[in-house]
Structure 1
Amino acid sequence: MSFSYGDEQISFERVLRHQGSSKALIKVYPDCRVVVSAHEDACNDDVLTAVKKRGRWIYEQLRDFRKQLEHITPRQYISGESHYYLGKQYQLKVIEDLSQAPGVKLLRGKLEVTIKQKSPEAVQKVLVDWYRVRAKEVFAKRLDAMLEQALWVNERPPMRIFSMKTQWGSCSPNGRLTLNPHLVKASRECIDYVILHELCHIAEHNHSERFYRMLAGVLPNYMKVKDILDAKVSEFVS
């Protein structure tokens, strides 16, 4: 959905609000997404009216976040940069060594990347490959742990790792989970939330009231965890 404010057309996503006040809840995230939580019985016209009333606030939030994004410099993959793994920040240290095979080590608060010849592209490739391997291992362990809570799942679902720009995970109609390797940069709590979210889709494919009741039943603070994860999108995916 979208509305006009001044000379700008602002788009927003409507999602289901299954508890709390009957009013629409409007959030603007650091990556400039606008998400409106509204009850299932609220018609689109009423939601749009509520959003327009907060038009000035939404516009100002977007303006401020856009200014912040302008100052986020693209990663250069050089020593001294900060990179995430399992919710913690690590300083990147690039080591050039012709005698060693390219690889990554976590050592004393640093991500040590060894390559044969220094170049941003080479460092990026080694890091991306390392994150993917770690993601496969971490996600498999967390999936096993979350299946102990997801009593509605009869058998371990197949899982694949696939990079996505706008999603942390997805669940196909036949129950296959797809998880974003960038998610391994987040905390275990955030990883568990995404996995549980997708496991709920095995029983309920839509974001219905039943879906959110199921999710809240296994993770009561899921909204808080979701907000933490959403606030880090630009840092994790860049």
Structure 2
Amino acid sequence: MNVPIKANRQLMSFRYGDQQIAFERVKRPQATSKVLIKVHPDCRVVVSAPEDADNEMVLSAVKKRSRWIYEKLRDFRKQLEHITPRQYISGESHYYLGKQYLLKVIEAPEQAQGVKLLRGKLEVSVKIKSAEKIKTLLADWYKARAKEIFAKRLDAMLEQALWVTDCPPLRILTMQTQWGSCSPNGRITLNPHLVKAPRECIDYVILHELCHIAEHNHSERFYRLMSKVMPKWEKTKERLDGMASSITS
């Protein structure tokens, strides 16, 4: 099983004024009759609803909050207008463990190429300034940090996952749609982009995958186990979801 960057979903939509607004319907994990509506900073509208709720009921609940959804989308779209594609030049902001660091590019033909975290800045040394080379060096640096940090956090989370007898194998792999996954034989795979998120978000994904070693699907037993080892996991998941567009670009 896996922790998706964007949840498995059913696409639905409704009309507000002259706009057709699409939203993703996902299963709400806890037993409740309420419909939960969230508008994310990347302008995704996600509606969590009980599995047995029919689409008409869900659509009715969404329409009641149509004005609020419209206004949130309008505000987030204004913010996105100011986000420009990364150029990998000095002055850009890049995430690491939930904090933003300024990128400083140093052209030094005689120095070894690489990345260092110094005095609150990500310093990248290159022989000749090239966006592709800087991007590659940063990706390699993030993967190296991810390998080290994920291994430490896995060890820490195993203290809570008492059902796991041996430390599972860990793989680092860039994935387009998942933060992490757990294979049937218990191997955990984590996305290196996750190292840009706060430590509690890393712990959440690791615990999610460790829970899958005991419960291989998203059953009620799985969510009970998840809530036992991380009582406020839903808030942490929401925080990670809100950062997705910022830390995977």
TM-score, normalised to structure 1, is: 0.91
The answer to which of 38-47 and 149-158 deviates more is 38-47
State the shift of 1:215 in Å: 0.9
Of 191, 205, 230, which aligns to 2:241? 230
- 2-structure distance, mates of 1:162, 1:48: 37
Q: Is the counterpart of residue 146 in structure 1 residue 182 in structure 2? A: no
Q: Is the counterpart of residue 52 in structure 1 residue 83 in structure 2? A: no
State the shift of 1:45 in Å: 4.0
Corresponding residue number in structure 2 for 1:166: 177
**Structure 1 pair 9–120 and aligned structure 2 pair: CA distance change class (3 A):** same
5+ residue gaps, structure 2: 1-9
Of 179, 185, 192, which aligns to 1:181? 192
- 1-structure distance, mates of 2:46, 2:217: 17
Of 114, 127, 135, which aligns to 2:125? 114
Corresponding residue number in structure 2 for 1:5: 15
The answer to which of 42-51 and 65-74 deviates more is 42-51
Size of the alignment, in residue pairs? 237
Corresponding residue number in structure 1 for 2:4: none
State the shift of 1:97 in Å: 1.3
Secondary structure of 2:181's counterpart equals strand
Of 220, 231, 235, which aligns to 1:220? 231
Q: Show CA shifts across 1:15-66 (max 9, x none).
A: 22416x6311111111222222233544444333322332333233233323
- 2-structure distance, mates of 1:33, 1:199: 28
Over the matched positions of the two proteins, sequence identity in percent amounts to 69
- 1-structure distance, mates of 2:222, 2:15: 34
- 1-structure distance, mates of 2:122, 2:81: 26
- 2-structure distance, mates of 1:180, 1:34: 24
Secondary structure of 1:76's counterpart equals coil
Secondary structure of 1:72's counterpart equals coil
Secondary structure of 2:95's counterpart equals strand
- 2-structure distance, mates of 1:162, 1:13: 28
Secondary structure of 1:168's counterpart equals strand
- 2-structure distance, mates of 1:74, 1:162: 23
Q: Show CA shifts across 1:169-193 (max 9, x none).
A: 1222332222111110111111101
| Matched-pair contact (CA < 8 Å) for 2:23–2:46 | no
Corresponding residue number in structure 1 for 2:74: 63
- 2-structure distance, mates of 1:205, 1:33: 28
**Structure 1 pair 13–206 and aligned structure 2 pair: CA distance change class (3 A):** farther
- 2-structure distance, mates of 1:210, 1:49: 30
Q: Show CA shifts across 1:152-211 (max 9, x none).
A: 223222222222233211222332222111110111111101111111122223222221
- 1-structure distance, mates of 2:183, 2:62: 32
| Matched-pair contact (CA < 8 Å) for 1:18–1:212 | yes
* 1:18 aligned partner, one-letter code: Q
1:88-99 equivalences in 2 (<5 Å): 88-99=99-110
